[in-house]
Amino acid sequence: MGEINKDRPSGHKELKLIVNMSPPETAIALMLAVMRNTTARQNSVTDKQMGKQDPIEIDRDGILAEMAFGKQFNLYPDLSVYPRKGGADLITHNNLKVDVKATRYKNGRLLIHVDKSVQEVHIYALAIVDGDTVDLIGYIKSIDAMQEKNLKDLGHGVGYAIDQSSLTPFKE
């Protein structure tokens, strides 16, 4: 499963943690994305996406990344469908709350909306989604991520943007 990734922007070689998702898992992620997006819009939940992609695609990638994280670390993601505003995607065996952020950009950053509270989750994780393949890049504690030095405007408003080189890589 692990292989050397020479494409990471940090310039040093790190272990890639690739999770291959099955067609049924990918279909579940898309179905949940449509259901969650529809439920959120019907209940006036503000869409705080920080990218230009289609909202359903962003939701699908996010859910697939959550499922991949859970699959890799033997955790069960929250697959419920109800109007949600933030919160954790998964809870670890040590009761740590994890929020998995997904991107399709190989050099993408971990993005956190500026309105998030540092107490909302303990750990943020970054995943790069490419079709039905998810590369779990690394993680950062919320207290380390949500600092003024990480505030950036990437064209969609100010938010926390953490480079991949600042993340702790996952180990198998």
Q: Where are the domains of the chain?
A: 2-169
Question: What pLDDT sits at residue 6?
Answer: 38
User: What's the token pair of residue 40?
Assistant: 């959120």
d(CA 49, CA 69): 21
Give pTM, 2 decimals.
0.84
Residue 45 has pLDDT above 80, yes or no: no
Question: What pLDDT sits at residue 87?
Answer: 79
Q: What is the largest CA-CA distance in the chain?
A: 46
Question: What pLDDT sits at residue 112?
Answer: 93
Residue 171 has pLDDT above 80, yes or no: no
Residue 7 has pLDDT above 50, yes or no: no
CB–CB of 148/131 below 8 Å? no
Q: How confident is the model at residue 15 (pLDDT cuts 50, 70, 90)?
A: low
d(CA 4, CA 14): 6
Q: How confident is the model at residue 139 (pLDDT cuts 50, 70, 90)?
A: very high
Partners of 16 in beta bridges: 3
Residue 49 has pLDDT above 70, yes or no: no
Q: How distant, in Å, are the alpha carbons of 13, 151, 158 from that of 26?
A: 29, 33, 31
d(CA 26, CA 16): 21
Q: How distant, in Å, are the alpha carbons of 31, 48, 83, 90, 99 from that of 126?
A: 22, 17, 24, 14, 9
